[in-house]
A and B are shown apart, each in its own frame.
Chain A
């Protein structure tokens, strides 16, 4: 069964450092997403990406965040200067189309900012 894969599974970084989280969406999916979940809280939308551009972003997705699809398979989330409050589980997801279809999630990257 095709799945979304994410690397690394766990990343520890110092405050102020840049991190890049990587994802390989399901191959025939066209829409890609990043969500995050702070420990004990609900899953929150960050950004959606379609046709090589951001199609929607939340208030959380400020200038310190960026996304990129550097090649035909990878989808990355970069956090430029990490803060303690960026510590969370980051989930990548993909869907065949943007509406009325299910999104499938990767296993997540646990980011710990120290």
Chain B
């Protein structure tokens, strides 16, 4: 099983749509969770951390389900500028500092 698994997409959605991405992780001892965004040939940019109680930042909502080892990202009212690859990123804990990246889910928002 991959350490961090994501549906690669692409997700093609119209402007204004709501879209959800899911991610599963293999290590139950994982400690911290993030969504990053990556534009083509650019660096990963932090979108938001994911907290156990769930958290929201404007149009973006992240949820964590530790029992199912599952993380989600919901984007409401999609904009053209949301087109990017969304990376699920996990710190696997157990003394590790490294971040483990999923392969990313590609989103294309269309006019």
Name A's B-contacting residues (CB within 8 A): 31, 33, 35, 41-45, 48, 50, 55-56, 58, 89, 91, 98-108, 110
Knowing A107-B42, A108-B43, the reply to whether A102 touches B49 (Cβ < 8 A) is yes
Give me 21 A-to-B residue pairs in the complex whose CB atoms sit less than 8 angstroms apart, sorted by A's number: A33-B97, A35-B99, A43-B38, A43-B101, A48-B98, A50-B97, A56-B96, A56-B97, A56-B98, A89-B41, A91-B44, A99-B31, A99-B32, A99-B91, A100-B32, A102-B34, A103-B99, A105-B43, A106-B43, A108-B43, A110-B41
Please, which residues of chain B bring their CB within 8 A of the CB of A42?
87, 101-104
Interface contacts beyond A41-B103, A98-B97, A105-B44: sample of 9 additional A-B pairs, CB < 8 Å, sorted by A:
A33-B99, A42-B101, A42-B102, A43-B38, A48-B98, A50-B97, A104-B46, A108-B42, A110-B41
Assembly CA distance A63 to B70 (angstroms) = 36
Number of A-B contacts (CB under 8 A): 55
